[in-house]
Structure 1
Amino acid sequence: MTKSCYRNSRLEVLHRTGAALASVGALDKATMRDLDAFCLTEVEDLTGADIRALREREHVSQGIFARHLNVSAKLVSDWESGVKRPSGPSLKLLALVRTKGLAAIA
């Protein structure tokens, strides 16, 4: 993994240690799933205003923002106006941009 998807560096170390323990059988799958959920970037629903504020914080147009997210500029516009809501991978990418900045997915 080249780009970190962890909330911070300490949680990255914790998760990697847990993964190493799981690989040798010292940690069960259920515990590893709990560790995954705890360490990885949280995904929250975002409102249109949240998405617009996030884009403006990064000082990019809807088109450039859309390009980074691999979606259309129309979709970003629809998100910002509340016509549609992001979900799945798009919501995860938005969460990463929110916590780490646009450079994290560039």
Structure 2
Amino acid sequence: MTRKSEKPEEPDQGGADTTLALKDRADARAAFTRSTFILQKDGPLEVAPGHVIVVCRDPGLRRGGINHPPLHVYAPGELDDGQLRAMAGEPALEVIGVG
């Protein structure tokens, strides 16, 4: 699966089939070498490689010294290794590295 660098006209409907197509890290890196988009009600949010997306299932949860909103995108270098480990170990958080 290849992502376009411009904003998509319609959301990608790949779902589980797309996830199954990414068989290993090399496939995932190739798929996300360009910007990734988070579809929101206000329109797509473009997230460039190197950023970290954190999705919180329990907004207000505090891990890694941060009170987490439902969704936040962190710039490269904004989080240190200890914060990333603390967040990755929390079941209520999904930590997604882009590219």
**Normalised by the size of structure 1, how large is the TM-score?**
0.27
Higher strand share: 2
More helix by percentage: 1
Q: TM-score, normalised by structure 2?
A: 0.29
